[in-house]
A and B are shown apart, each in its own frame.
Chain A
Amino acid sequence: MRSGLSAMADTGWPGCARSLKGVILDLCGVLYDSGEGDGVAIRGSIEAVRRLKESDLQLRFCTNETQATREKFVAKLQRLGFDICVSEVFPPAPAAVAVLKERGLRPHLLVHDGLLPEFDSVDKTSPNCVIVGDAAENFSYQNLNEAFRVLIGLEKPVLFSLGQGRYYKETDGLKLDVGVYMKALEYACDLKAEVIGKPSPTFFQTVLNDMGLQPHEALMIGDDLLNDVGGAQHCGMRGVQVRTGKYRPSDEKHPTVTADGTVDDLAQAVELILNQRRN
């Protein structure tokens, strides 16, 4: 039971916004929709990010973007009008490079051409593992077969998947994401991939560490129920889903993941958060 004046028992959304210290935002489907050229900013999102930055909340961006390097896609977002910089953004590729170095692994890469520069410093000769990212058109039968042959030829095959998303939304419709091809290779080789990126708890923890926050002090806002919201909740954060991007109405009746809140878009989420903190 709640005591009259104390807000201690407010654990639900949007009341929980009062005790928050940080917000983590997904990029694609929350800030913008990808597509031709730079894509399109989602209505109200530029202003929403600005409002968050002006507040006393810490802000970071956690994305499974793997079609371009950090520098390139942050520049794209800046061109769209967003106030965002590279040090605030956490994508999978740099985390993957760190893992490779830690474990002395040399990768065969099945990734988008735009991501290759992230791996320039990595030894790619005699590969002893495969990394699969959101390769889009590079997901040809031939390229997949090549990756498969590397794995099947290894005594100890290791497959890294940069995220495990099922699909994402572009301006011309839904498209298959890296998770689909991860599953394909898992099935072909009878192995389990290691996921680097959302929803891996290690990945979220890296962001929390950077913010110096405990999970319960942070809120994740994303369009992917399983990987953004579910992944965040699994770490002890709250997760809110937006109805933009890859959201589908059936998400609100999902058998295993229930978002702490569902809002129309980022602008509405930020409005609710800041209203809570004003009182």
Chain B
Amino acid sequence: MAGRRALKAVLIDLSGTLHIEDTAVPGAQEALSRLRQASVAVKFVTNTTKESRRNLLERLQRLNFDLQEKEIFTSLSAARSLLEQKQHRPLLLVEDGALEDFTGIDTSEPNAVVVGLAPDHFNYQTLNTAFRMILDGAPLIAIHKARYYKRKDGLALGPGPFVTGLEYATDRKATVVGKPEETFFAQALSDLGCSPSEAVMIGDDARDDVGGAQSAGMLGILVRTGKYRDGDEGKIDPPPHLTCDSFPDAVEHILQNLL
């Protein structure tokens, strides 16, 4: 077995890993407490685009998870900083609940299109508007390109399919700011003072969580909750460092093997 890595940070996905909608994964709260007792930094990274950081924090606290707002890093945070950098005025195709994270950004006479998870906006009319803007030169920014996610009533299309469709329609490429982009993971670790090789990611999405993290130089642990489907671990190369039943098992593995 390879020598132990000096683990300094653990990145934890939220939806599908710590909770599914308004239900916590059994034993997750306690597992998080155990993890915090070890000397590792913890960050909660998510592509969730429907909710602001404040909303996420409130929901997790209602489910008895112990965390602070500054430990949450979302792809919305990543998108906002890109908009500020380039001084774009965005057409925001994001859920109402997420708009809060864009307060202060000028959205008049938009010259960029930002696509998040926004079923209400993915209608024919709005997509046509976005399409014509992009064709005329507006950059397309994708908060992430998840294929689908798990809702209480089954699987549902994520923003990825719509971004792909717009890319095809306009023959342009979107700038993706969320998982599994390497910059997302690098940005998430930047204020923790550690390199990717000193960090591990735990998530339920083989490609976006584990694959993305491993491409960025981290270890990846795949959990069989949330959107996980049988055989997902075989869909990425290299395969996950570990595939286990749920978050508490992942924490157990870290405490016993990686510290």
Contact = CB atoms under 8 A, between A and B. Distances in A.
A141 B165 contact: no
B228 interface: no
B176 to A, nearest CB: 13
B161 A167 contact: no
B132 A174 contact: yes
B78 interface: no
A132 to B, nearest CB: 11
B135 interface: yes
B161 A184 contact: yes
B147 A180 contact: no
A148 B124 contact: no
B123 A188 contact: no
Contacts of A206: none
Nearest to A175: B128
Contacts of B132: 173-174
B127 interface: yes
A contacts with B: majority SS = helix
Contact of B147 (A173, A174, A188): A188
B131 A188 contact: no
A189 B169 CA distance: 19
B157 interface: yes
B169 A187 contact: no
A136 B125 CA distance: 9
Given A136-B124, A187-B147, A188-B148, A174 B165 contact: no
Given A188-B148, A188-B160, A139 B169 contact: no
Given A188-B148, A188-B161, A145 B128 contact: no
Interface residues of A, number: 29
B166 interface: yes
A160 interface: no
A141 B159 CA distance: 11
Interface in A104-148: 136-141, 144-145, 148
Contacts of A188: 147-148, 157-158, 160-161
Contacts of B119: 141
Interface in B155-171: 155-158, 160-162, 164-171
B169 A167 contact: yes
Nearest to A190: B147
Given A136-B124, A148-B148, A176 B161 contact: no
B3 interface: no
Q: State the 7 A-B residue pairs at the shortest beta-carbon distance, nearest first.
A: A184-B161, A180-B165, A184-B165, A187-B164, A188-B161, A183-B168, A141-B122
24 contacts: A139-B123, A139-B127, A140-B123, A141-B119, A141-B122, A141-B123, A144-B157, A149-B154, A149-B155, A152-B155, A166-B168, A166-B170, A166-B171, A174-B132, A174-B135, A176-B124, A177-B169, A179-B169, A180-B131, A180-B165, A185-B161, A187-B164, A188-B157, A190-B147
